[in-house]
Structure 1
């Protein structure tokens, strides 16, 4: 089976405009516990994310973590 992908896009204005899709591999079938990370997403105050997956196989989003670094200024 071909490599499956997960994509995210985000909006900083309440969903009126969206960023380009960013894509990462979900790994091959049977590759359990694959971690997917998206780096360098920029600065924001209120952000909405949308997620899509390019696999016809059933999938569940088990969780998500956002690490936020606050810079003085």
Structure 2
């Protein structure tokens, strides 16, 4: 099963995982409260939604500039 380290931690065997690092581990090995299974991680990536909203906001401004230039 694929896990992601929520913060710096170690697994049952003492291997270190940095925050955000992903690894394939068995449930017995992933004996840490900070190793989160990726299949149950419901958090969407906020970076994608922010860039989409920025593009939507920028589009009307570009359209206004074009109409002002066409009218001159």
**Same fold judged by TM-score > 0.5?**
no
Query: Which of the five TM-score ranges fits, normalised by the shorter chain?
Result: under 0.3
- Structure number, greater radius of gyration: 2
| TM-score scaled by length of structure 2 | 0.25
Q: Which has the higher contact order (CA 8 A, sep 6+)?
A: 1
| TM-score scaled by length of structure 1 | 0.25
More strand by share: 1
